[in-house]
Amino acid sequence: MRQTLAVAAAVSAFLVAPAAIAQIKDGMVAVAETEAVVKVISVDRKARTATVRGPGGGTVVINVPQEAQNFDKVKAGSLFKMRYLESVALVLTKGGQASASELRTVKLAPKGGTPGGTVAETKQITGTVEAVDYKNRAIALKGPGGKIVSLKVADDARNLNEISVGDTVSLLYTQALAMEMIPQQSQSAATGK
């Protein structure tokens, strides 16, 4: 599985998402969380990227924020404990207009510290329901730019039957990534060698 995660667009949502989701009353929420120890395969300091390999062998290219002061300590072979969170909250609201907003938070290790940190990006989009497929649990949402996006609705979301074409729906999407480099002496223990 190959995918690109923008670290600069992904982590302290561990702090942001729970507060935002706690405000949702009559909506649908889906959360996915993954933890793993990953190994740095390559580092491109000029492009500020690091390619890491996960326990299943898949690779991910991570964009390292300009604010990361300890990027010089990261090298091929370094191990990181990584935690990734993705959450989607869908809220039915009557009335309103299509809109969008975005919030990004970054918290990084201080200069000289162990490389790592958290980055989170939360996007809020409000749009109009263009179509509902109750049988396949999917909706089509028209956002502020007129673009239509199809969304799968989780099986445990109970109020899909309350959504109709023409309703205004708000979507709160959060990605978060927390990474911390494992000290050299602990790396052999983390890999089992």
Q: pLDDT tens for residues 69-126?
A: 999 999 999 999 999 888 877 776 666 777 888 998 989 999 999 999 998 999 888 8
Q: pLDDT tens for residues 135-187?
A: 988 888 898 888 888 877 777 666 778 888 998 888 788 889 999 999 876 55
Q: Would the pTM count as exceeding 0.85?
A: no
Q: Where are the domains of the chain?
A: 3-182
CA distance 78 to 116: 12
Query: Quick one: pLDDT at residue 10?
Result: 29
Give the residue from 132, 163, 164 showing the smallest Cα distance to 150: 132
Burial (CB count within 10 angstroms: exposed 0-12, middle 13-18, buried 19+), residue 118 = buried
CA distance 28 to 25: 9
Q: pLDDT tens for residues 35-71?
A: 999 999 999 999 999 999 999 999 989 999 888 999 9
* Token code pair at residue 27: 């909506």
Q: Are 14 and 70 in contact (CB under 8 A)?
A: no
| DSSP code of residue 107 | E
